[in-house]
Amino acid sequence: MARSLSSAPSRLTSKFSSFCTNRRRARASTISSAQRQTAIVTLRDRSPQKIAVFYNSATDERVVLEEAARSVGRIATKATDGSLAWAPLLPPETLNESVIARASAKNPAGAKTLQELEQIRELHAGLASIARQP
């Protein structure tokens, strides 16, 4: 069954919105099992590009998508050349950046400490690589 491209975004948006009706729960980070499963079912057959569009256009629903991505792990995805590959629902870097951004907004002092600790870790890794060189 061929789908028209012009109606695809609205159809996908309505499906995506249907599982995120309880915004208060998403804000409170209490995601129900049904919300998580619906997000997984809705997104697992989508291309990584469409999943990225959903995630980037989401506001409160991001928490639901992040929880679904964490719970499902890696899924089989179809590449543009037709091959199959195992990949996470959302890239781990994207999840980390989003969580850090939310935490930074809530706790600027903690965010500064985290940044300092990351710089110290990078310094230690650099020194360790120099020490390993013959």
Tens digits of per-residue pLDDT, 8-28? 444 444 444 444 434 434 444
2 lies in the same domain as 50? yes
23 lies in the same domain as 77? yes
55 lies in the same domain as 111? no
Domain count, the chain: 2
59 lies in the same domain as 113? no
17 lies in the same domain as 48? yes
99 lies in the same domain as 77? no
2 lies in the same domain as 24? yes
**3-class state of residue 116 by DSSP:** helix
Tens digits of per-residue pLDDT, 65-111? 888 888 888 888 777 787 888 888 888 888 888 888 888 889 999 88
Q: For the ranges 5-9, 19-23, 44-48, 110-114, which has the lowest average pLDDT?
A: 19-23
Q: For the ranges 16-20, 26-30, 34-38, 129-133, which has the lowest average pLDDT?
A: 16-20
50 lies in the same domain as 86? yes
80 lies in the same domain as 111? no
The rounded distance, in Å, linking the Cα atoms of 130 and 134 is: 9
Residue 24 belongs to domain spanning: 1-90
State if pTM tops 0.75: no
127 lies in the same domain as 99? yes
61 lies in the same domain as 113? no
Q: How far apart are the first and last CA of the chain?
A: 62
- Contact yes or no for 111/100 (Cβ under 8 A): yes
The rounded distance, in Å, linking the Cα atoms of 21 and 134 is: 59
In this predicted structure, what is the pLDDT of residue 2?
Answer: 46
- Nearest CA-CA partner of 76 in 33, 40, 37: 40
Residue with tokens 């950046």: 97
